[in-house]
């Protein structure tokens, strides 16, 4: 069952994507136009400076979305990791190369496609 917090988290990711349309891998923010999924969630809540390279999502992101602390199984094909939702989001973004939209869809409870299209 998807919680309201998870739905709001997915919406925050999408709002942040609108501000930085390019996906970053390995960094929360890169340059003026790129963010990872967790960085997009942070920017979806706050208006950040154009150059946000040194900014890291702070603990208040977990305060607003306490679901980030819940342990989830990684939905990536063949992956057996169980991590906090925040860590799974970063893992899907950086290691499985899921798009931010795919990550937001998964958070909202959409079925995981058999073959995920990656950003690479």
Q: How confident is the model at residue 67 (pLDDT cuts 50, 70, 90)?
A: very high
pLDDT in tens, 41-65: 999 987 776 676 677 666 677 778 8
Coil vs helix vs strand at 36: coil
Task: For the chain, give every domain's residue range.
Answer: 4-107
pLDDT in tens, 9-30: 999 999 999 999 999 999 999 9
pLDDT surpassing 60 at residue 70: yes
Map tokens 């996906």 to a residue: 23
Two structure tokens written together for 67: 């679901």
Which has the closest alpha carbon to 55: 47, 66, 64, 63? 47
What global pTM score does this model have? 0.87
User: How far apart (Å, rounded) are the C-alpha atoms in residues 44 and 29?
Assistant: 13
Q: How confident is the model at residue 2, as a pLDDT?
A: 86
């Amino acid at each position: 069952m998807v919680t309201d917090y998870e739905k709001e988290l997915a919406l925050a990711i999408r709002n942040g994507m609108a501000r930085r349309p390019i996906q970053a891998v390995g960094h929360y923010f890169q340059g003026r136009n790129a963010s990872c999924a967790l960085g997009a969630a942070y920017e979806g809540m706050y208006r950040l400076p154009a150059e946000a390279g040194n900014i890291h999502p702070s603990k208040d992101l977990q305060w607003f979305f306490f679901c980030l602390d819940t342990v989830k199984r990684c939905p990536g094909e063949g992956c057996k990791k169980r991590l906090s939702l925040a860590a799974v989001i970063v893992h899907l973004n950086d290691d499985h190369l899921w798009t931010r939209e795919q990550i937001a869809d998964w958070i909202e409870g959409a079925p995981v496609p058999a073959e995920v299209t990656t950003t690479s």
